[in-house]
Amino acid sequence: MPSNPKNLLAWLLPLTFLGLFFFYPLARILALSLDFATISVGYWPRIFSVIAFTFFQALISSLITLLIGLPLAFLFARFDFPAKTPLRALTAIPFMLPTVVVAAGFNALLGPRGWLNLALMGTLGLETPPIAFIGTIWAIFAAHVFYNTTIVIRLVGDAWSRLDTRLSDAARSLGASPARTFWQVTLPLLRPAIFASSLLVFLFDFSSYGVILLLGGPRFATLEVEIYIQALQLLNLQAAALLSLIQLLCTLGLSTLYSRYILHAASPIKSVERIPRPARTLPEKAFVAALAIFCIGFFALPLLALPMRSLTRIEADRARSAEIRPAFTTDYYYELFINRRGSLFYVPPVEAAINSLSYASLSVVLSLLLGFPAALALTRPGPLEKWLDPFLMLPLGASAVTLGLGYIITFNKPIPLLATFHLPLSTASLLTSPLLIPLAHTTIALPFVIRNLQAALVTIPQRYREAAAVLGASPFHVWRTVDLPIISRAVISAGAFAFTISMGEFGAASLLARPEYPTLPTAIYRFLSQPGGMNYGQAMAMATILMLTCGLGIFLIEKLRLPGAGEL
């Protein structure tokens, strides 16, 4: 029993929600995945091939990320140079952006209609794009590095900046070369941070979905992409469930390893705050300049190419068919509001944007209503709270695609328990209802919301509440006049978290969104998959709107969150 009986009431709503919309769908996946008899013998080689490719692309992506991230970690940890803070922030922006935005950015820069191909076609007089980037394994690697380099910079760079330089100085005074000092002194001290960051990068690459689907093309399939193919295209739910179980077990193992090593990564042998210094020698200045230029080129260009491409129409000179001329236009944004064909089955992109805004708003309300009582209970922890706390964080480790599959399996027929009590919830219609998407988004966002609110609630001194009660304030008045003003910033930050996650979420929505109720990410994916310059331009316009919307949410989160909030 908890130390405070009131906590039982606080737990009722969030635990009921997670039980119905997280644990029960996962249990249905587990039950279905164990039915091996329904999976044909000929499909097992395909399963092993998908697993092998998933590990392969995650391993290679992680190694490339380390090769790029370690020099950048050294740069930001040891050197002080102009524009250091903006460049460091620039490397972190991709990690917080939706998958479809990043994919659209790479498409705008390196795709068949991207800036680089257009420039080469115009310069060299070519009629076809000379660079085939989209649909290759290199597009997958580049996007993964683009996303995850900041993890290496943050974890390894922080450890590097706190190493005691007296150890390396002693090695150098004993005659060790710089290379030998690095391999025998610095590297062993950084090994926990490098291993922890590598595990986290591998985990994100292993569970990659949108990058593979949007940039890799039909030739490549990770576990999550294969789940999507089996569930939606081939309607083989048993195979999809088995793949989901494999994905969950692998993710759980990687997450456990990461949890073990992150504590060692945060505690080098000697923690000394080291002040970065300017580059002095010519090689140091060249090193700083080269990496700064690389940061601008690699991290900024895809993000800048996206809005520029959404405002540019490419025209070909009829007299000189090879000459390509870009022209400014707002037509792609104007077309978002138009059903030019007058088709009853066509949903204008603006409706997808309205759907996403509606889903995100509902997700914010649900997340705050469910997260506040759980966060409040965790500020008065008893034995039950200490046991339940890890379970509240489990949605973080679950794939959104797996969650979407669980909803398909679970809510395609009435739940026996609900049917027994004749409750009004019709699960048969829930699968076809647009409400299922905000429910999935709430499940994904809930751990972030709880952590943000919990960090704020623990800062409220109990004596403030007691003083207000002594002066005759009712419990509601105490909450309104004492608690709410203190936690208001955290409430806005938590709401921004839920809103941003819902706006950019693609994995669950790709399985659950109905054609008449698309979300903005699913609409971008659909338009990118269709031929034609107008479809491409509208995809660029929608991706730009999504990037700006999520960017505003990220800004609010960073501006308003309390120290320690959001640390999971």
What's the mean per-residue pLDDT of the chain?
A: 82
181 in helix, strand or coil? helix
pLDDT for the residue numbered 106:
93
Q: In this predicted model, what pLDDT tens digit does every residue of 321-372 receive, in sequence order?
A: 456 677 888 999 998 888 776 666 678 889 999 999 999 999 999 999 999 8
Note whether 2 and 382 are within 8 A (CB): yes
Report the sign of the C-alpha dihedral through residues 381, 384, 386, 388, in that order. Answer: negative
The label of the residue with tokens 């797996």 reads 402
Whole-model pTM: value is 0.84
Of 139-148, 256-265, 462-471, 485-494, which range is least confident?
Answer: 256-265
Q: In this predicted model, what pLDDT tens digit does every residue of 248-279 receive, in sequence order?
A: 888 888 777 776 666 555 554 455 556 777 88
Report the sign of the C-alpha dihedral through residues 500, 504, 505, 511, in that order. Answer: positive
Note whether 438 and 502 are within 8 A (CB): yes
Residue ranges of alpha helices (H) inside 322-399 are 331-335, 349-378, 383-392, 394-397
Euclidean distance between CA atoms 96 and 93, whole angstroms: 6
Residue 273: C-alpha distances to residues 156, 162, 196, 493 (Å):
14, 5, 21, 30
114 in helix, strand or coil? coil
Task: Determine the Cα angle at 20 with ends 30 and 428, to 5°.
Answer: 90
pLDDT beyond 90 at 167: no
| 552, two tokens | 């505003």
Considering only residues 476 and 425, tell me which one the structure prediction assigns the higher pLDDT.
476
The DSSP H or E segment spanning 402 is helix 400-410
Please check whether the two domains, 1-25+343-568 and 39-329, share a CATH topology.
Answer: yes
Instruction: Pick the closest to residue 410 from 19, 15, 26, 14 (CA basis).
Output: 26
Residue 406: C-alpha distances to residues 21, 451, 470 (Å):
9, 25, 50
Considering only residues 517 and 486, tell me which one the structure prediction assigns the higher pLDDT.
517
pLDDT for the residue numbered 564:
47
Of 38-47, 143-152, 279-288, which range is least confident?
Answer: 38-47
Euclidean distance between CA atoms 2 and 19, whole angstroms: 20
pLDDT band at residue 284 under the 50/70/90 scheme: confident
For 235, phi then psi, to 5°, come to: 55, 35
| Exposed / middle / buried, residue 142 (Cβ in 10 Å: 0-12, 13-18, 19+) | buried
Residue 303: C-alpha distances to residues 109, 154, 179, 251, 309 (Å):
9, 21, 37, 30, 10
Mean pLDDT, residues 506-534: 89
Q: What is the phi-psi region of residue 217: left when phi exceeds 0, alpha when psi lies from -120 to 50, beta otherwise?
A: left
Of 103-107, 418-422, 465-469, which range is least confident?
Answer: 418-422
Tell me the β-bridge partners of 16. none
Instruction: Pick the closest to residue 148 from 77, 225, 86, 69 (CA basis).
Output: 69
Cα 299 off chain centre by: 17
pLDDT for the residue numbered 2:
44
For 308, phi then psi, to 5°, come to: -65, -40
Note whether 367 and 381 are within 8 A (CB): no
The CATH T-level fold of domain 39-329 is MetI-like fold (1.10.3720)
Domains of the chain by residue range:
1-25+343-568, 39-329
pLDDT beyond 60 at 228: yes
Task: Tell me the residue length of the chain.
Answer: 568
* CB neighbourhood size of 128 (10 A): 8
CATH class (in words) of the domain with range 1-25+343-568: mainly alpha
Residue 567: C-alpha distances to residues 174, 265, 483, 497 (Å):
42, 16, 22, 13
Residues ≥6 apart with Cβ < 8 Å to 488: none
Rg of the chain on CA atoms, in Å: 26
pLDDT band at residue 411 under the 50/70/90 scheme: confident
324 in helix, strand or coil? strand
SS (HEC) of 498-520: HHHHHHHCCHHHHHHCCCCCCCH
For 318, phi then psi, to 5°, come to: -65, -35
* CB neighbourhood size of 95 (10 A): 16
pLDDT band at residue 318 under the 50/70/90 scheme: very low
Note whether 196 and 152 are within 8 A (CB): no
Of 57-71, 388-402, 551-565, which range is least confident?
Answer: 551-565
Report the sign of the C-alpha dihedral through residues 360, 366, 369, 374, in that order. Answer: negative
SS (HEC) of 260-319: HHHHHHCCCCCCCCCCCECCCCHHHHHHHHHHHHHHHHHHHHHHHHHHHHHCEEEEECCC
pLDDT beyond 70 at 377: yes
* CB neighbourhood size of 285 (10 A): 14
pLDDT beyond 90 at 61: yes
| 446, two tokens | 């809930």
Note whether 385 and 378 are within 8 A (CB): yes
DSSP 8-state assignment for residue 327: E
| 532, two tokens | 């034609």
pLDDT for the residue numbered 419:
52
Of 22-36, 162-176, 448-462, which range is least confident?
Answer: 162-176
